[in-house]
């Protein structure tokens, strides 16, 4: 497939689109991958928070709207990645410029190492809780052993084929087991809700600590956090329509389900109850939680794989597999020795630069938009910086609207205006 409006030829092989014979992901593959990546304990925790802040009905409204909008943005970037056959770092280059884009690519690697380590910590804490519940074992070394176990498993996955993992393990085995665990947990907490009175839970009011728009913004945070990664997988899609629909439906359904399950759990639990403990106390919760923890490995692997793609782009002397193993080892070391829960605010701040960045990417590259061959594409860079400022200033000046919504709206609007304004110059060139 020829790259539309490609920049000047580069010695970097990353600028070469994935050939047609390597494009093997079908609708089912995309849907399975992004459903699996959309499932997580952190998503349920956010749902529980929304249920407390907004009340049941408003929280569910925010969950549906935020999931549909956020997953649509994710799917749009996936389509761009498919259309061009290129990875996320190259899309950044085609938008911001071949030299300047190395800055966000490096930042992306840093955040992906951090989020990989954070996923390992989530799996560590969950596994430790499971072992304590089953055996009563509670020792100081147990978290280190469980973190090392998951870290070495991540290293093992990094040695294999991404395509094989998605098509064989996730699609055939991982996804059905995770869906069964979610069905079982949903069933158990619906029974609990019926026993307590569905009408009272349905009309449960929130504490008013968050607006509806801010709730939508928070729900969107999950799908948009994957924007810097989605093209790395979507470029292997067979067709544009299946890539878009599979990504959108897969992530939207998982995001809605897990957020809503969090609302259901908090609505049927004692105030201040811990999510992990509540899941363990549910009938069959031990098995269901174990399957969800296994599924968390997909998230860590997705971070490591995308980080290795970025490092291969920056330093093509080493293969994606080499960089993947290296990143998995670094993430494991971080999970063992760094306070990752304390570093979460830093990771969220670092991630915030990519929400406005991909607003610019969408505005410039959607519908076969022109790719830049400049070292620094000044106007898109300026729009990106304005978007970052909006992301951080809006919650302080106008907290009712959140962060992601205004940053995306501003970058999409300014980027579209710039694209329309330069069209006559490109046509006459």
Contact 128, 146 (CB under 8 A): yes
* Across 5-14, 204-213, 373-382, least confident range: 5-14
Mean per-residue pLDDT for 293-307?
Answer: 87
Question: Is the pLDDT score of 31 beyond 80?
Answer: yes
Rg of the chain (C-alpha set): 21
| Structural domains for the chain | 24-423 (1.10.4160.10)
pLDDT at site 428? 53
Mean pLDDT of the chain: 88
* Across 7-16, 241-250, 381-390, least confident range: 7-16
Q: How many Cα atoms sit within 13 Å of 16 on the Cβ side? A: 7
pTM reported for the whole predicted model: 0.90
pLDDT at site 3? 43
Mean per-residue pLDDT for 373-400?
Answer: 90
Class of residue 330 by CB neighbours under 10 A (exposed 0-12, middle 13-18, buried 19+): middle
Q: What is the pLDDT of residues 241-278, one digit of tens each?
A: 999 999 999 999 999 999 999 999 999 888 777 777 77
Compare 235 and 293 and report the one with higher pLDDT: 235
Instruction: Give residues with Cβ within 8 angstroms of 92, minimum separation 6.
Output: 101, 104, 105, 357, 361
Contact 63, 56 (CB under 8 A): no
**Cα-Cα-Cα-Cα dihedral of 215, 50, 54, 389, to 10°?**
-30
Mean per-residue pLDDT for 333-351?
Answer: 83
SS3 state at 142: helix
pLDDT at site 177? 85
pLDDT at site 225? 87
**Euclidean distance between the first and the last CA atom of the chain, given in angstroms as a whole number:** 25
pLDDT band of residue 288 (cuts 50, 70, 90) is confident
* Across 90-104, 230-244, 268-282, 306-320, least confident range: 268-282
| DSSP characters over 399-417 | GGG-SHHHHHHHHHHHHHH
Question: Is the pLDDT score of 322 beyond 80?
Answer: yes
Mean per-residue pLDDT for 21-31?
Answer: 93
Mean per-residue pLDDT for 301-328?
Answer: 92
């Amino acid at each position: 497939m020829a790259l539309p409006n490609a920049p000047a030829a580069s010695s970097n092989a990353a600028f070469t689109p994935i050939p047609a014979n390597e494009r093997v992901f079908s609708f089912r593959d995309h849907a399975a991958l992004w459903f699996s990546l959309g499932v997580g304990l952190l998503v349920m925790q956010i749902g529980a928070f929304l249920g407390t802040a907004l009340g049941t009905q408003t929280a569910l409204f925010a969950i549906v709207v935020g999931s549909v909008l956020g997953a649509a943005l994710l799917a749009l970037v996936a389509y761009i990645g498919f259309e061009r056959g290129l990875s996320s770092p190259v899309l950044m280059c085609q938008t911001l410029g071949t030299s300047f884009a190395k800055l966000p690519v490096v930042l992306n690697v840093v955040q992906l190492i951090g989020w990989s380590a954070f996923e390992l910590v989530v799996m560590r804490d969950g596994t430790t809780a499971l072992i304590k519940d089953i055996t009563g074992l509670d020792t100081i070394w147990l978290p280190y052993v469980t973190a090392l176990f998951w870290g070495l498993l991540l290293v093992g996955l990094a040695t294999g084929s991404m395509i094989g993992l998605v098509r064989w393990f996730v699609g055939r085995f991982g996804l059905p087991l995770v869906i069964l665990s979610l069905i079982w947990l949903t069933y158990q907490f619906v029974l609990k809700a019926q026993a307590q009175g569905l009408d009272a839970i349905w009309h449960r009011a929130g504490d008013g600590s968050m607006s509806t728009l801010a709730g939508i913004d928070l729900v969107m945070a999950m799908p948009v956090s994957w924007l810097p990664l989605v093209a790395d997988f979507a470029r292997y899609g067979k067709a544009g329509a299946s890539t878009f629909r599979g990504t959108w439906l897969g992530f939207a359904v998982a995001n809605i389900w897990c957020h809503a399950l969090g609302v259901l759990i908090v609505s049927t639990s004692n105030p201040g109850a811990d999510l992990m403990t509540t899941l363990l106390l549910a009938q069959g919760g031990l098995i269901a939680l174990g399957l969800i923890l296994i599924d968390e490995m997909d998230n860590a692997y997705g971070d490591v794989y995308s980080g290795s793609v970025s490092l291969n782009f920056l330093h093509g002397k080493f293969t994606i597999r080499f960089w993947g193993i290296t990143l998995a080892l670094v993430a494991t070391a971080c999970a063992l020795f760094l306070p990752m829960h304390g570093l979460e605010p830093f990771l969220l701040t670092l991630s915030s630069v990519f929400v406005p960045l991909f607003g610019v990417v969408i505005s410039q590259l959607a519908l076969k938009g022109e790719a830049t061959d400049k070292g620094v594409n000044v106007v898109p860079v300026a729009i990106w910086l304005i978007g970052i400022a909006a992301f951080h200033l809006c919650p302080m000046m106008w907290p009712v609207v959140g962060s992601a919504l205004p940053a995306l709206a501003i970058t999409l609007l300014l980027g579209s205006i710039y694209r329309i304004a330069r069209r006559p110059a490109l046509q006459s060139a």
